[in-house]
């Protein structure tokens, strides 16, 4: 890797300021060596500087750890990817009884259960919190039929966490620390506040870049930990996980964590995403990308987002290059876009493709697109304004602190694909209008990695 540690620090320092990110830490494994850099502050009120050892909330990168735990237990014959969840959790229930009876661990790990997964009810802080959370799912409805498509489902990973607890006889917290963090040699990886407080930690910031405030909510519900609500880690901790995945399941210290076939299963496509989305396909827990356009998936990882913090992990096994970037507010996506492109271009000769560009042609027939699409986290109302389409995002009451209300102008890419940029950000998101209802209107709006079903 020709990008020096000094240049990495300079880039991170410049880009955190450019994108209004209070603080960030990055770790890069390339060319057989680790480089780390940190910039900004852990908290804009205390102004404590971020260091390479600062712990950030890694959000849904945690799903890779939960998936790895599941694969360990499949190796041991204690879990089965394709048997019903009820074989492990006999009283498992969601609103659709047929789904409750048929859904499998594989459906949970590749986000094809169709369960409305943004269900963030707090089930408390005791050691039985994950068990209690799973019981609360009994009234949660379907967004789409079982196995029909990919739609991001946090709740599914909490159910997988409960399956881990029953298969190991330990809480998910203890299982992930003992079976993943310890063999990786990452003792600072923390799943509870009382563990994280032994280290320097970053706090999240909410609001638009330039007008940020420390989040009034430090963590999301602890009962959602297997999906990513709680764990904190340093950037180098996350790189240790990536190095294990690039080394057929063996940690850098020689400790076996996963069988090579389990790594392969996590990297093997199980479902494709809507075309030209910011994720190409899903393995078991893993996001998959084909950056070089050769029809094969060569980049793996996951994104993570919690209240005021965001994280990215990407690794390219062929060149043994991995990047973990952790941020605590502002336009972290803009920062990530530039850092990932620069590092992977330099170290691996590849880089993420550009987002889809708006077409020069006119507007497609809008009557089949306009309407209200919904899921548990809120609604997206698509309407015509000044001759163009606008998506108005409204958060449900339980999600107001995470999202709020905002409007996005949609620009046409194809008849079914649009792009729009959230206020305060630079990277456009994709809006896919999928399938048809009995009136010939789009049945689903797929955006933010989630399907929203038409309700009006």
Share of the chain above pLDDT 70, in %: 99
In tens, the pLDDT along 373-405 reads 999 999 999 999 988 999 999 998 877 766 778
Buried b (16+ CB within 10 A) or exposed e, 209-232: beebebbeeebbbbbbbbbbbbbb
- Predicted local confidence at residue 401, as pLDDT: 66
Contact 343, 328 (CB under 8 A): no
DSSP state of 328: -
Q: Which residues contact 242 (CB under 8 A, 6 or more apart)?
A: 29, 301, 313, 315, 322, 324
Q: What's the pTM value of the predicted model, to 2 decimals?
A: 0.97
DSSP for 188-204 reads: T-BSSHHHHTTS-B---
Retrieve residue 112's tokens: 């094809």
Q: Which residues contact 303 (CB under 8 A, 6 or more apart)?
A: 59, 60, 61, 287, 310, 311, 312, 313
Residue 354 dihedral angles phi and psi, to the nearest 5°: -70, 150
**Sign of the dihedral defined by the CA atoms of residues 329, 225, 449, 271, in that order:** positive
In tens, the pLDDT along 83-101 reads 999 999 999 999 999 999 9
Retrieve residue 316's tokens: 């390219």
Quickly count: other Cβ atoms within 10 Å of residue 43's Cβ: 17
DSSP state of 266: H
CA distances to 339, 350, 366 from 225, in Å: 28, 33, 41
In tens, the pLDDT along 303-331 reads 999 999 999 999 999 999 999 999 999 99
Q: What is the mean pLDDT of residues 200-210?
A: 92
Confidence bin at 210 (pLDDT 50/70/90): confident
| Catalytic residue list | 60
Contact 171, 165 (CB under 8 A): yes
- Predicted local confidence at residue 1, as pLDDT: 52
In tens, the pLDDT along 161-197 reads 999 999 999 999 999 999 999 999 999 999 999 999 9
Contact 453, 151 (CB under 8 A): no
Q: Which of 83-92, 273-282, 329-338, 362-371 has the least mean pLDDT?
A: 362-371
User: Considering the chain, what is the average pLDDT of its residues?
Assistant: 95
- Predicted local confidence at residue 386, as pLDDT: 87
In tens, the pLDDT along 398-447 reads 777 667 789 999 999 999 999 999 988 888 999 999 999 999 999 999 99
Q: Which residue blocks in 103-259 are alpha helix, DSSP H?
A: 105-109, 129-136, 154-168, 172-176, 182-184, 193-196, 235-246
Residue 362: alpha-carbon gap to chain centroid: 34
Alpha-carbon distance 28 to 37, whole Å?
9
The total number of residues shown for the chain amounts to 456
């Amino acid at each position: 890797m020709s990008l020096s540690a000094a240049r990495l620090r300079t880039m991170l320092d410049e880009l955190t300021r450019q994108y209004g990110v209070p603080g960030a830490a990055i770790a890069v494994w390339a060319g057989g060596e680790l480089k780390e850099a940190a910039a900004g502050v852990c908290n804009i009120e205390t102004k404590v500087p971020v260091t390479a050892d600062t712990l950030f909330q890694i959000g849904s990168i945690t799903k890779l750890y939960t998936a790895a735990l599941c694969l360990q237990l499949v190796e041991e014959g204690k879990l089965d990817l394709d048997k019903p969840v009820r074989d492990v959790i006999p009283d498992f229930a969601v609103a659709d009884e047929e789904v409750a009876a048929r859904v499998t661990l594989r459906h949970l790990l590749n986000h094809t259960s169709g369960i409305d997964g943004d269900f963030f009810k707090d089930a408390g802080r005791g050691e039985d919190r994950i068990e209690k959370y799973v019981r609360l799912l009994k009234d949660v409805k379907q967004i789409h039929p079982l196995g029909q498509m990919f739609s991001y489902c946090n709740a599914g990973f909490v159910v997988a966490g409960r399956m881990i607890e029953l298969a190991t006889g330990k809480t998910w917290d203890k299982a992930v620390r003992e079976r993943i963090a310890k063999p990786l040699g990452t003792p600072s990886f923390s799943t509870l506040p009382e563990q994280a407080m032994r280290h320097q930690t970053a706090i999240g910031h909410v609001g638009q870049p330039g007008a940020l405030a420390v989040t009034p909510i430090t963590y999301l519900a602890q009962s959602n930990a297997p999906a990513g609500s709680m764990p904190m880690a340093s950037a180098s901790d996350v790189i240790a996980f990536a190095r294990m995945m690039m080394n057929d399941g063996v940690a850098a210290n020689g400790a076996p964590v996963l069988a090579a076939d389990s790594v392969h299963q996590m990297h093997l496509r199980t479902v494709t995403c809507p075309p030209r989305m910011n994720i190409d396909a899903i393995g078991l827990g893993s996001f998959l990308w084909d950056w070089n356009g050769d029809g094969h998936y060569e980049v793996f990882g996951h994104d993570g987002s919690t209240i005021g913090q965001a994280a990215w992990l990407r690794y390219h096994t062929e060149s043994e290059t991995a990047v973990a970037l952790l941020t605590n507010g502002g336009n972290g996506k803009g920062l990530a876009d530039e850092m990932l492109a620069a590092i992977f271009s330099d170290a691996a000769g590849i880089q993420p493709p550009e987002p889809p560009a708006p077409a020069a042609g006119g507007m497609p027939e809008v009557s089949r697109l306009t309407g209200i699409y919904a899921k548990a986290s809120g609604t997206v109302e698509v309407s015509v304004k000044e001759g163009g389409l606008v998506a108005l995002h409204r958060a449900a009451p339980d999600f107001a602190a995470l999202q709020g209300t905002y409007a996005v102008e949609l620009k046409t890419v194809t008849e079914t694909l649009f792009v729009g940029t959230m206020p305060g950000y630079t990277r456009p998101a994709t809006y896919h209008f999928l399938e048809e209802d009995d009136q010939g209107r789009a049945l689903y709006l797929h955006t933010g990695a989630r399907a929203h079903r038409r309700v009006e």
